[in-house]
Amino acid sequence: MKIIESILSGAADIAAVRRDIHANPELCFQEVRTADLVAQKLESWGIPIHRGMGTTGVVGIVQGRDGGACGRAVGLRADMDALPMQEFNKFPHASTQPGKMHACGHDGHTAMLLAAARHFSQNRDFDGTVYLIFQPAEEGGGGAREMIKDGLFEKFPVEAVFGMHNWPGAAVGTFAVSAGPVMASSNEFRITIRGKGGHAAMPHFGIDPVPVACQMVQGFQNIISRNKKPVDAGVISVTMIHAGEATNVIPDFCELQGTVRTFSIEVLDLIEKRMKEVAEHTCAAFEARCEFSFIRNYPPTINSAAEADFARRVMSDIVGPANVLAQEPTMGAEDFAYMLQAKPGAYCFIFNGDGAHRAMGHGEGPCTLHNPSYDFNDDLIPLGGTYWVQLATRWLGTAPGARS
């Protein structure tokens, strides 16, 4: 691996910052301490900052040797928020906040971008501007959307924006990036079936919403198998069914909730339309009433081809082509999708290992994302920092027409 020496020599200091963030997790839009820490580090390295975008976001402004006069710019994004879950780990940097944990590695994402920032503060051998985007509220809050609403790309115009997420399961020193959809849209639905309650021994006097719900769940799976093209990915998962309070009472209503995931807006439009039709017509067939709510959370994360290819070439030069994998799409969701709707760019995976890096005192269970025994692998800090530096420097040093 071709790691930048200054980043490697300073990796222990950045790892200490990462562990401090891990020990003091903050949930979406509450990242006050984390944002303060990021801002303090950037300012101590002589990097101007802008604060408060998207509530707690921080943007570092690194101008090259021309002071940014050429007008070219690229954006690098890291997320800062934690998850509302209890950590099982007992090592020294485990969470000190009950019910809050960095179980997705956003502490590490912040650290990798800080490692790049410190290098940039001492090495500005490029023309243009690198915007370091420290984003709040990826875990359900849509912090990327809120930063964009607050004028992120108007105030800090970029040619392209790039994101990176650690990914457990393969060895450190491995990346993955591909063009096209790499993460799914995230959507949720709530359906209330209004029937007519009564005695369970005399169902003919009521309208039982429970068999309506059963019929409806089966009908939804027909949408996946018979309405969309077989080659188009889509998931409908009914994850909650609530009805009744007594064994001898037919309830007045039954509520269904769940999630829908797709890799395209076209498939999402189809599924929402058909779900509403199935729900309403199934209720009508049983003389029940239907209340249908469908909420679109995050759109699909779709990498633009030129930027994904550019990122792949940068990675290949750092770790070798054999260690840059095709990025297998996942039905998980990511709000970096909003940035990719606004600007060209690419979202890649940097592999976190198999969990063997965890210190004494780690919890039982695998080192997987959103797991109470997870911990970010600090060995990624010099590699991720090197990738960020090489990506931005080469992007700004390559004429737009010469990137393919």
Q: What percent of the chain has pLDDT over 70?
A: 99
Cα–Cα nearest to 186, from 139, 250, 126, 118: 139
Position 35, amino acid: A
Joined tokens for residue 245: 């309070």
In this model, does residue 359 exceed pLDDT 90?
A: no
Query: 28-65 pLDDT, tens per residue?
Result: 999 999 999 999 999 999 999 999 999 999 999 999 99
Joined tokens for residue 178: 């591909």
Instruction: Count Cβ atoms within 10 A of the Cβ of residue 295 and give its class: 0-12 exposed, 13-18 middle, 19 or more buried.
Output: exposed
CB atoms within 10 A of CB 241: 16
Banded pLDDT at 399 (limits 50, 70, 90)? confident
Cα–Cα nearest to 45, from 110, 133, 118: 118
Q: What percent of the chain has pLDDT over 90?
A: 98
CA separation for the pair 65, 53 (Å, rounded): 27
Would you state the pLDDT for residue 328?
95
The DSSP secondary-structure symbol of 208 reads: -
CA separation for the pair 19, 367 (Å, rounded): 16
The DSSP secondary-structure symbol of 225 reads: I
Beta strands at 198-199 and 249-250: parallel, antiparallel or unpaired: antiparallel
CA separation for the pair 193, 371 (Å, rounded): 34
CA separation for the pair 165, 387 (Å, rounded): 12
CA separation for the pair 192, 279 (Å, rounded): 9
CA separation for the pair 186, 221 (Å, rounded): 18
Query: 5-14 pLDDT, tens per residue?
Result: 999 999 999 9
CA 40, 44, 50 angle in degrees (round to 5)?
55
CA separation for the pair 375, 86 (Å, rounded): 13
Banded pLDDT at 404 (limits 50, 70, 90)? low
Cα–Cα nearest to 120, from 108, 107, 129: 129
Query: 158-181 pLDDT, tens per residue?
Result: 999 999 999 999 999 999 999 999
Cα–Cα nearest to 7, from 111, 117, 115: 115
Query: 60-102 pLDDT, tens per residue?
Result: 999 999 999 999 999 999 999 999 999 999 999 999 999 999 9
Joined tokens for residue 194: 């209004």
Position 384, amino acid: G
- 186-297 CATH, one of 3.40.605.10, 3.40.50.720, 3.30.70.360, 1.10.1060.10: 3.30.70.360
Joined tokens for residue 236: 């409908």
Domain ranges of the chain: 5-184+300-402, 186-297
Residue 381 near residue 11 (C-beta atoms within 8 A): yes
Residue 153 near residue 302 (C-beta atoms within 8 A): no
Helix H segments across 265-348? Answer: 265-285, 305-319, 336-342
Would you state the pLDDT for residue 400?
81
CB atoms within 10 A of CB 344: 18
CATH number at 5-184+300-402: 3.40.630.10
CA separation for the pair 293, 273 (Å, rounded): 11
CA 166, 169, 175 angle in degrees (round to 5)?
50
Query: 249-260 pLDDT, tens per residue?
Result: 999 999 999 999
What stretch of H or E contains 21?
A: helix 11-23
CA 2, 340, 140 angle in degrees (round to 5)?
100
In this model, does residue 136 exceed pLDDT 80?
A: yes
Q: Chain-wide mean pLDDT for the chain? A: 97
